[in-house]
Amino acid sequence: MVEDSLSPAAITDGLGTRFIGQEITCYPSLPSTNDMAKQKAQEGAKEGTVIVAEEQTAGRGRIKRRWLSPRGSIALSIILYPPLDYLPCLIMVASLAVTRSIEQVTGLKAKIKWPNDVLVNDKKICGILVESDVRGNKVDYAVIGIGINVNLEVSDFPRIAPMATSLSRELGRDVSRRDMVQGLLAQAEKLYLALAAGDSVFRQWRDNLVTLGKKVQVSSGEATCRGIAESVAADGSLLLRQPDGSLLKIVAGDVTLRR
């Protein structure tokens, strides 16, 4: 069994970040780390504070879905107070930080399915939920919630088994969650700080999307549309070329790749 402690001391030891992860609280169990992070943000938690849970009992996904985070997975949320124009970039920061930390720690190649699912060998290994509270043109807080399937047997969870995988399943061995969390927080800070320097994060995110150039079906609320995922805009929207030749801008949705 690899070293697998997710205590604050274990995570901060050698972390080397300026602010992300310098304050950490680890809980054995929480309904949702995002909910706890929002509460802490409202109470004035420091920027970069991280909430970690060994398991979530009511983990939340995008589009009001549930997110399974049993023991062996990573469930964490990062509290930030970004300027308003950073908000659309937070999903880019988070998904790139996850792909990079997976590659750094395990050597596995990870890709992003628009907008921010991380896939390994075409199966979902990580979900990201960014939530924020905006008053007028000021962001009160933003929370980046990240769930990664690390050491778990996805076949134990029939609801997700057909489309999900885990790091341990892909590698045939367990992975240090501490190394993963440290890598993730360090990459997240590097990318977050890079947002001040222009559009390089956007370009890296776009270049890591598996979705572009593919035939896709996009469900957005009640509506479903089909076409070729032609490009993405700087605000993270997907630009879908429809069968009638028109270009549709999709701000939020769920993409299925079609054959």
CA–CA dist 77, 75 (Å, integer) = 7
Count H helices and E strands in the chain, helices first: 6, 12
* 51 exposure class (CB count in 10 Å sphere: 0-12, 13-18, 19+): buried
For residue 166, the minimal CB distance to ligand BTN (Å) is 14
3-state secondary structure of 23: coil
For residue 61, the minimal CB distance to ligand BTN (Å) is 3
Closer residue to ligand BTN in complex, CB, 31/83: 31
> Does position 75 bind ligand BTN by CB under 6 A?
yes
> Does position 33 bind ligand BTN by CB under 6 A?
yes
For residue 206, the minimal CB distance to ligand BTN (Å) is 20
Choose the stretch contacting ligand BTN; rule: CB under 6 A; options: 69-77, 89-97, 107-115, 233-241.
69-77
Contact pattern from residue 91 through residue 130 relative to ligand BTN, giving x for each residue in contact according to CB under 6 A and a dash for the rest = --------------------------x---------xxx-
- Return the axis-axis angle of helices 200-207 and 177-194, rounded to nearest 10°: 130
> Does position 60 bind ligand BTN by CB under 6 A?
yes
Whether the CB-CB separation of 161 and 155 falls below 8 Å is answered with: yes
| C-alpha closest to that of 145 among 200, 189, 80, 70 | 80
Q: How far is CA 66 from CA 61, 127, 151, in A?
A: 5, 11, 19
> Does position 70 bind ligand BTN by CB under 6 A?
no
> Does position 146 bind ligand BTN by CB under 6 A?
yes
Element (H, E) at 231: strand 223-232
Choose the stretch contacting ligand BTN; rule: CB under 6 A; options: 139-147, 173-181, 194-202, 237-245.
139-147
* Sole binder of ligand BTN in the list 38, 62, 100, 113 (CB under 6 A): 62
3-state secondary structure of 74: strand
> Does position 59 bind ligand BTN by CB under 6 A?
yes
CA–CA dist 242, 250 (Å, integer) = 12
In the chain the first and final C-alpha atoms are separated, in Å, by 40
> Does position 186 bind ligand BTN by CB under 6 A?
no
Closer residue to ligand BTN in complex, CB, 77/165: 77
CA–CA dist 168, 70 (Å, integer) = 14
For residue 14, the minimal CB distance to ligand BTN (Å) is 24
Residues that bind ligand BTN (CB under 6 A): 32-34, 56, 59-62, 65, 67, 69, 75, 77, 117, 127-129, 145-147
